[in-house]
Amino acid sequence: MNLTIDNQRVALNVLRQAWQEPVTVSLGDSAKGRIAAANELIDDVVAGGERVYGVNTGFGQLAQVRIDADQLAQLQENLVRSHAVGVGEDLDDEIVRLIMLMKVIALAAGFSGVRLELVETLCELINNNIYPCIPSRGSVGASGDLAPLAHMACALIGVGEVRVNGDLVPAAIALENAGITPVRLGPKEGLALVNGTQVSTALALAAVYRTENLLAAVLMAGAMSSDAIKGSDTPFDERIQKVRGHGGQIAVAGVLRELMRGSDIRASHIECDRVQDPYSIRCQPQVVGACLDVLRHVSTVLETEANAVTDNPLVFTDSKSVLSGGNFHAEPVALAADYLALAIAEIGALSERRIALLIDSHMSGLPAFLVKDGGLNSGFMMAQVTAAALASENKSHAHPASVDSLPTSANQEDHVSMATYASRRLHTMLDNVANIIAIELLAAAQGVEFHHPKKSSPIIEDVIRGLRQISPPYEGDRSLSSDIRRVAASVDDGAYCDYAASVLPSLST
């Protein structure tokens, strides 16, 4: 993808593509003009001797310390080096690419006062697939994602390590090999790089995209389970959804109706004696629909944040003002991530309940634990236990991170958002849910096949044929661990998105 950053808002679907694959980034003429104008104002401030935070002062609690003009470049480099104290495993290259792109978007808005040279160098790193090694832990999401963004900034000055095509390389050597000159930071430039919410936002955005993949898969799994237990599609009737009015519920019911359309299994029991199905079947539109509404809300918040200017102070060329504020505080991201965590947990919880339903012969009407010769074979008994363990683990992960705050920087930063952790923990939850849905897909496929020669819908039968390419039917006891892993990978890769693309925020744009 070739992306020019100029006057346009960068949309959710474009950011998704940048997360999925390498991108070539350039600046438009308007962006270049804005950057140059803001930088000229910073030069005027320095020349005039006006005291401005982060330009010619120390940082945080040291903001009262005035820095001499001949030390301003050293001030910015010291800031970057001293703040690069992250720990833990490095963030994936896909996340780092998204971080770098969003930093370009923020700087290109022309409110940061940096030189054009700096922004273009950051673009060159992206274009050459040079991704700074950014440790995943060490940010409280308050004065920006300081530590992780400092590691990103280190690469621009030729310090630290980067990954190039998956290989670990010293930053100075990677820049030299690409013909990129390390940046000598000017006034405010180090601060503009380390201030901002791009790390927490990138982690949360990636979680949104993964949640879309999983939500599509859980709709498929839910439709399959409904047919496997000879459930009714009446609860998915459009009239029921419309009188409640929630958009997500209406959309989810529509997808479920389409997935189950033309099922011979459904047609075979229309006049059966069962009055109502369990909630995990019947209330899918209400539960998954509410999760879709959360996903849509969170997507809107994060798209705004991805296009936001979140460093400090900010440069306003129209009034020739440099104003200190708090756009670096990541509370909007933290609250959005916490909200999304609830939806992720519920998607997994509902799927686990359907697995439990499928293996219970008294409730499902299927062979106990979905296997022939039960007793000799245990079937899906322990697979459901695994799903239960993962769903229960997610309950703890769903506890809101944003309600926690520890003051930092000698109480100058006395309230923090914890947005980076709030966003990062989503990926652990998503790993768990991908495995839960994989177990349901395998269990539901097994259940549907017990009804053959009666067929499910054409869509569901086609999906089962695909599943059988990576997981053969369960004829007798064997380990399902590898099967679950393969199916979970396909779920996480978006194998089912085409069936629900019309309702997913970044795919329906």
- The type of residue at 487 is V
Mean pLDDT of 32-54: 91
Is it the case that residue 2 has pLDDT exceeding 90?
A: yes
Is it the case that residue 212 has pLDDT exceeding 80?
A: yes
CB 132 within 8 A of CB 160: yes
Q: How would DSSP label each residue in 453-470?
A: TS---HHHHHHHHHHTTT
Long-range contacts of 479-485 (CB under 8 A, 24+ apart): 480/380, 480/383, 480/439, 480/442, 483/438, 483/442, 484/383, 484/386, 484/435, 484/438, 484/439, 484/442, 485/435, 485/438
Can you give the pLDDT at residue 72?
87
Q: At what angle do helices 284-306 and 12-20 cross, to 10 degrees?
A: 90
For 10, how many CA atoms within 13 A lie in the half-sphere containing its CB? Answer: 27
Alpha-carbon distance of 65 to 270, in angstroms, equals 79
pLDDT tens digit string along 451-502? 999 999 999 999 999 999 999 999 999 999 999 999 999 999 999 999 999 9
Share of the chain above pLDDT 90, in %: 87
pTM higher than the cut 0.75 = yes
Active-site residue 53, yes or no? Answer: yes
pLDDT tens digit string along 369-406? 999 999 999 999 999 999 999 999 999 999 999 998 77
3-state secondary structure of 292: helix
Indicate left, alpha or beta for 84 from its phi (over 0: left) and psi (-120 to 50: alpha).
beta
**C-alpha pair distances (Å), 195 with each of 10, 94, 143:** 20, 21, 6
Q: Encoding tokens for residue 349?
A: 């919880």
Is it the case that residue 333 has pLDDT exceeding 90?
A: yes
How many CB atoms neighbour CB 245 within 10 A?
8
3-state secondary structure of 315: strand
**Residue holding tokens 């309230």?**
415
What phi and psi values does residue 170 have, to the nearest 5 degrees?
Answer: -55, 140
Alpha-carbon distance of 40 to 150, in angstroms, equals 24
Strands 161-164 and 167-170: antiparallel
Residue 313: partners with Cβ closer than 8 Å, 6 or more residues away: 52, 53, 54, 55, 188, 322, 323, 324, 325
Is it the case that residue 187 has pLDDT exceeding 80?
A: yes
Q: At what angle do helices 331-359 and 419-449 cross, to 10 degrees?
A: 20
3-state secondary structure of 499: helix
Candidate list 53, 421, 496, 499, residue with the active-site label? 53
**259 burial level (CB within 10 Å; 0-12, 13-18, 19+):** buried
CA dihedral 12, 141, 94, 177 (to 10 degrees): 120
Alpha-carbon distance of 217 to 79, in angstroms, equals 45
**C-alpha pair distances (Å), 206 with each of 50, 195, 203, 328, 389:** 41, 21, 5, 20, 25
